Structure formats: C-alpha cells, structure tokens
Structure 1
Amino acid sequence: MVQVIQAQNVTLAYLKEKFALYKSEDEQFFTEWFDYRPKISELEKQSLDRVKNNYLNVLENAPLLEEAVKLVVLSPLLDLAGFYRHPFYIATEESVEISEQAIIDNELSAEETKEVIKGKIDVLVLQDRLWLLIIESKRSSFSLAKAIPQALTYMLANPHPENAAYSLVMNGEDFQFMKLIKQEQPMYALSDRFTLYRRENELYKVLNILKQIGQVVS
C-alpha cells in the first residue's frame, strides 16, 4: 500500500521520526553563512538597494505572490551571485520523490506501507552533479517556518549523499540558509534569519553567503 504525502505538508517531527534527521548545535558544522570570504562591490550594493526598494514599493499595493517574489527579489540575487553562468545551471519546478517504509502490525498480519513524499522544487541551482541550493520562494505573507521542513525534505532527496546540500528559504522579505549532510545520519543546521525590515540592507549578507557557498562547491 502506498500513501502519498505532499512535501508542503511535511513537519520537522515527521522528518525526525522517519529519517532520523537531527539538528546540529555545533557552530563549526555550518560556518559558510558567517565566515564568508567574498566581498560585494559598491555597484552590487547599489543593485541590492534597488532590489530592496523595489520589493518594498511593490509590497505597498498588496502581498506579493510567489511568482512576483521570484521576479522582484530572487532573480536579481541569483544573477549577482553568478548562478546563471558556468559552472552553474538552473532547474525550475523539479519533481522530487522520497520514500520511507514502515511496518504496520495488526492482530491478523503485518502490512507493509510505503510512504512516498512528493513535491516540486521552486528553483534548483546545480553545479555539475552537486545540488547547491534548493530555493523555496513563498509569497510575502508566508512564514519561513512552514517552508523549512519542505526544503529539508528536498535536501534529503539529494541523490549524491556524499556531498553537502545547501538551501535558501525566502518569502521576499525574510531569508534563511540551511546546510544538510546525509552520510551516516542526516544532520542539518540553520543560519540566522535575515530581513529587509532592518535599517541596514541585509541583502548584502545574503549575497555574500550565496557567493561563499558558490565558492565552496566550485
């Protein structure tokens, strides 16, 4: 018997139970988000200032839907990070399927149930055979807390467990990075959360981290 679960309905508790996923508290596990070496130029800062202003101006009329978030915020970020150029390439709406088998016992027999999680990744940045970034870009009124389990599910489906997977979840105004390593037991960690509602333009930090991750994997 197959039970299909939509990725957007998966919880952290489910991932911990079914895949033994756990969160690392070791600061050295995910240094890429704060120990970044690339520096952004003044021209890039000007571009990011425009991105921030464009987003806040558009948001005055109504909450942005997901496609608008991609257009106004995500696309310029990927461009400035160099992810549209070799050796990276972009895939969108990639279908993902991951399964875990469970044995359900009853009084008469043991019935094998296969739980299959299905979903589609918004944007996947690839470098050769390495999954680099799984980007979940939700509407502006969407909480990042709801997107994190979904992104982790996609990261668990990485067909190359020998490599670390990174992801960015965002809703246009808030941004958070994740790192996951599968190997013996899947382990993940989160960055701090960045927002456009601080005086400083935190897109500078977001772009620095994107560039750092790009350097790490390439």
Structure 2
Amino acid sequence: MIQVIQAQNIGLAYLEERFGLQQAKDEEFFPEWFENLPEIPDLEKQDLDKIKVNFLRLVKRPPLSEETVKLVVVSPLLNLAGFYDDPFYIRGEQSIEISAEDEGEIIRGRIDVLVIQEQLWLLVIESKRSSFSLLEAIPQALVYMLANPNPDKPVFGCVTNGEDFQFIKLLKQDKPEYALSDKFTLSRRKNELYQVLSIFKNLSQILS
C-alpha cells in the first residue's frame, strides 16, 4: 500500500534518509548569492523601502497570511527582478508528486511560485505566514526542488515569511546536494531587501 505524505510534514532527516540529500560543504557550491551581485538603482531602492514599510505596517495587525505575503512582498520583488518578463514564465500553486525508490511512499504538495523557462524549472519560491520559521519551510522547498524534472540542471529556491528570506541551491546529478545562503531580514534597521533583490536579479541574469 502506498503511503501519501504531505510536503509540509517533511523534515530534513527524512530527505537525507530517503533521497540521500546532503548539504554541500564547499562555499563555492553556491556563489550566486554573494558573487558579482548587481547594484540596485536608487529608484528601485525607493520601491523596496515602500515594500518594507507596507509589510511592517501589516504585521501590526496579525494574522498575516501566506497570500498576503505573496501579494505585498514576493510579487513586487519578482517584478523588479524581471521574472515576469520574457524568457520567464510564472506559475502559481503548481502540484508536484515525488517518491523515493522502493519506499512505498509518495510526497505530494503545491509549489507557491514556480519560475520556468521553456519547461526548465529555474526558481521555486515557498512563502509562509509571517509567524512561520524558515527552518520549517526549507525542507518543504527542498521537496519541491527535488521534484525538478531536469536533474542535470541546478534549481534555485527562496523561502520567506515576508520578514525573513533565505536562498537555496540544489544539484541532483550524482547525488542531491544543496546549500543555503545567509538569512536576510526586515527586522534590522538597514533594508536588506536591497540584497534580496540583488540576488534575485543575479539569478535572473544567470538563468536567462
């Protein structure tokens, strides 16, 4: 009998045991989040300052849902990064199903935002309500990234609860390996959305 598991109930230990997932130890595995990042123009910094203000104002009146986080924070960032433009396509609520060999288990879930280019999966975004920890969101995003039908290509991810952001890179080739960026947060005085957008822009340039 096949057991169906929801992606949001998966932890890293399960992925390590069932899929052989490993965290890369080499810092050069994921240079895309810190090397050759583009500068953000002043006009776009003003947009990012407004996004931060809007989010922090909404946080004062909880609860803040996943849909609100996507609307107020994620969507404007993707627009500024160029992911709504050719050659990219955005798909929301993309269903996935993945199974480990001979385990009799299937993992199912729905990707919040998927960026594709000619059927190639490029970027998976998992957004959570503002009270949700990124540590809980990372395994779910990795499940979706493992479902990438193009194992010879890297796939990138981003998890956010609106306040915090963290980027992920996954390569499936010989054995699945992943790495995480530093965590960026809106709780600091400096607007770290500047760095978040710079990473998104760098990924859009690399992937296009």
Among 187, 196, 200, the residue aligned to 2:186: 196
Matched, 1:44 2:20: no
Over 2 Å off, 4+ runs: none
- Could you tell me how far apart the structure 1 residues matched to 2:49 and 2:117 are? 28
Q: Looking at CA atoms only, which structure, 1 or 2, has the larger radius of gyration?
A: 1
- Measure how far apart 1:40 and its partner are: 1.2
In structure 2, give the amino acid aligned to 1:133: L
TM-score by length of 2: 0.98
- Could you tell me how far apart the structure 1 residues matched to 2:7 and 2:37 are? 34
Matched, 1:155 2:139: no
For residues 12-67 of structure 1, give each alpha carbon's deviation from its aligned partner in whole angstroms, at most 9, with x where no partner exists: 00000011000001010000001133221000000000000000011111131111
- Could you tell me how far apart the structure 1 residues matched to 2:62 and 2:2 are? 41
Structure 2 counterpart of 1:106: none
- In the alignment, structure 2 segments of 5+ residues that lack a partner are none
Q: Let me know the Cα RMSD of the aligned residues.
A: 0.9
In structure 2, give the amino acid aligned to 1:132: L
Between the aligned residues of both structures, percent identity stands at 62
Q: Secondary structure at the match of 2:180?
A: strand
Q: How many equivalent residue pairs? A: 208
- Could you tell me how far apart the structure 1 residues matched to 2:78 and 2:121 are? 15
- Could you tell me how far apart the structure 1 residues matched to 2:143 and 2:62 are? 30
TM-score by length of 1: 0.93
- Could you tell me how far apart the structure 2 residues matched to 1:47 and 1:201 are? 11
For residues 66-124 of structure 1, give each alpha carbon's deviation from its aligned partner in whole angstroms, at most 9, with x where no partner exists: 1110111011101100111101110000000001133xxxxxxxxxx521000000000
In structure 1, give the amino acid aligned to 2:80: L
- Could you tell me how far apart the structure 2 residues matched to 1:48 and 1:101 are? 44
- Could you tell me how far apart the structure 2 residues matched to 1:172 and 1:158 are? 25
